[in-house]
Amino acid sequence: MDKSKAKVIARQKRVKRIRKKIAGTSERPRLRVFKSAKHIYAQVVDDTKGHTLAAISTLDKTIDPDGCKCELATRVGKKIAELSQAAGIDTVTFDRGGYLYHGRVKALADGAREGGLKL
């Protein structure tokens, strides 16, 4: 098996294991994080209805593309907090998406906290 394919499968197993314990409700939706080699994505999901309430990524035109990846993740976190509060959401459950809580994932969470979200 290809090494990169094995890493993807292992992360998918971690995601399934985490999702057994974490669920987003209408009162407290789930803040989901996905990262690729170049970009980071965040979305706020209400799992009871199956709706995405807010979403943003580094590909969005409102995010300044200058800076390192951790700085971009912080900007995405602040912007998702702004979009969530515009939708009437102030408290979320953080779903790290099977990634370790450090680096860009931690920077996004810190940015969301700075933006006013409670994780």
| Cα–Cα distance measured from residue 96 to residue 101, given in angstroms and rounded to the nearest whole number | 7
> In the chain, where are the structural domains located?
3-114
Q: Hey, how many other C-beta atoms are within 10 angstroms of the C-beta on 95? A: 23
- Cα–Cα distance, 3 to 113 (Å, whole number): 35
Residue type, position 73, single letter:
A
- 1 has pLDDT over 70: no
Judged by DSSP in three states, 87 sits in coil
Length of the chain as a residue count: 119
Computed over every residue of the chain, the mean pLDDT equals: 94
Mean pLDDT of 77-101: 95
Confidence of residue 4 (pLDDT cuts 50, 70, 90): confident
pLDDT at 2: 81
In the predicted model, what is the mean pLDDT of residues 66-92? 96
Domain covering 3-114 in this structure, CATH number: 3.30.420.100
Query: pTM of the predicted model, to two decimals?
Result: 0.91
Q: Above 80 in pLDDT, residue 76? A: yes
Distance CA 106, CA 29 (A): 19
pLDDT of residue 45: 95
pLDDT at residue 25, as a whole number: 86
- In the numeric block, the tokens 């200058």 are attached to 66
